[in-house]
Amino acid sequence: MLDIKFLRENPEIVKQNIRNKFQDSKLPMVDEVIAFDAESRKTQQEADQLRADRNKISKQIGALMAQGKKEEAEAAKKKVTDSSQRLAELEAKETELQEKIKSIMMVIPNIIDPSVPIGRDDSENVEVEKFGEPKVPDFEIPYHTEIMERLNGIDLDSARRVAGNGFYYLMGDIARLHSAVIAYARDFMIDRGFTYCIPPFMIRSDVVTGVMSFAEMDAMMYKIEGEDLYLIGTSEHSMIGKFIDTMLPEDKLPQTLTSYSPCFRKEKGAHGLEERGIYRIHQFEKQEMIVICKPEESSMWFEKLWQNTVDLFRSLDIPVRTLECCSGDLADLKVKSIDVEAWSPRQKKYFEVGSCSNLGDAQARRLRIRVKGEDGQKYLAHTLNNTVVAPPRMLIAFLENNLCEDGSVRIPECLRPYMGGKESIK
């Protein structure tokens, strides 16, 4: 969410940013919120003046009564009563205007970084760099669920009977591989100085609206019926929410956390052939990383975060590439974002396995996450998040890139301690 003062002083910058995101329907909102803001400030000024006058007159009443000037005191009391009625009207109007301003400001997109390429959607994202040599073996690579089924590692039919489409049972060594990847990712991030955390898996609505846009919320979140609670779509939500309404001492920054959680997502919309199996599902587990830092350090942390994911995948012998998300592909709160994509030997192309985002002070403004500097000055923190690893998609990349011609799956050396020393799954 933008600072209303910034919008008030830079309406054309905000409008051009909206155009850059191809959201022209939101352009009238800028002038609308400026008008509401002007009316709100005018209302507040009148209310402040009435409060000052009322306080002054109230003090005079006692003095008039002491001097025996009863009629003048009664006249003063009437003024206080009249001003109180008017003040109540102004306060109600002020509340109404502030709600209107907030509802609009929550929809106007954040200002994107100047380095972000301009484009309508993910088809216009820009490749940045490739890591590792993508290879296609001489033998045919089956669809990922076929690989799992041959290893007695998945049961989709039972999951459909129990929970419907979008769920699965992982079995045997494939289930163990899933847990091994999560455990390895946890230790990988701890070794890089991040603090491990297991967060709440449900959050309140004020946290939901603090960490994501309304469009994302509608497309992703499951609400708990009868309660002010939502199932998290990623642990970033509750991890950033951990700092709601806090004043962080500057010397306690950065806060660097890595978290494990299950994730729950509606995944609305029709899905294509390549999104069957465990590619796009309603429930999965993930290792995440978040950073709360000073504004001048967020660009540096952004580079570090996506590099962590690249390094983890490369340690498992999986080729990856990074894509710079274009303006139209950025969610409204994001300043800048890079997707990490893994190589699929079967499809002979890359597919998304993680996303790194710098949100500037947007989440901090909504959640009131502030920092107190050594000089006593207070300012909003910057927040960032990145996927360490999400095993459903990561498992697809892992199985395809480590599949052997005899149908076994090679276990990279760094993962073997988490698999009881196994060198392969047969």
116 in a structural domain: no
The residues near 412 (Cβ < 8 Å, ≥ 6 apart) are 315, 316, 317, 402
26 in a structural domain: yes
CA 37, 40, 42, 44 torsion-angle sign: negative
110 in a structural domain: no
212 in a structural domain: yes
Domain shared by 186 and 321, yes or no: yes
117 in a structural domain: no
Residue 273: CATH number of its domain:
3.30.930.10
**Count of domains forming the chain:** 2
pLDDT given at position 80: 66
Q: Which of 50, 49, 57 lies closest to 73 in space, CA to CA?
A: 57
Domain shared by 358 and 409, yes or no: yes
pLDDT given at position 314: 96
Domain shared by 90 and 173, yes or no: no
112 in a structural domain: no
22 in a structural domain: yes
Domain shared by 79 and 129, yes or no: no
Residue 101: CATH number of its domain:
1.10.287.40
213 in a structural domain: yes
Note if the pTM is more than 0.85: yes
Domain shared by 250 and 337, yes or no: yes
Final residue belonging to a domain, choices 42, 77, 105: 105
Range of the domain at 370: 122-425
Domain shared by 308 and 355, yes or no: yes
Domain shared by 68 and 169, yes or no: no
Domain shared by 162 and 300, yes or no: yes
pLDDT given at position 212: 87
Q: What is the pLDDT along the chain (426 residues), one digit of tens a residue?
A: 899 999 999 999 999 999 999 999 999 999 999 999 999 999 999 888 877 777 676 666 666 566 666 666 666 666 767 677 788 888 899 999 999 999 999 999 999 999 999 999 999 999 999 999 999 999 999 999 999 999 999 999 999 999 988 899 999 999 999 999 999 999 999 999 999 999 999 999 999 999 987 777 777 899 999 999 999 999 999 999 999 999 999 999 999 999 999 999 987 654 544 456 777 889 999 999 999 999 999 999 999 999 999 999 999 999 999 999 999 999 999 999 999 999 999 999 999 999 999 999 999 999 999 999 999 999 999 999 999 999 889 999 999 999 999 999 999 999 999 999 999 999
pLDDT given at position 110: 96
Domain shared by 303 and 359, yes or no: yes
Domain shared by 331 and 395, yes or no: yes
Domain shared by 203 and 92, yes or no: no
Domain shared by 144 and 64, yes or no: no
Paired tokens of 20: 């850059």
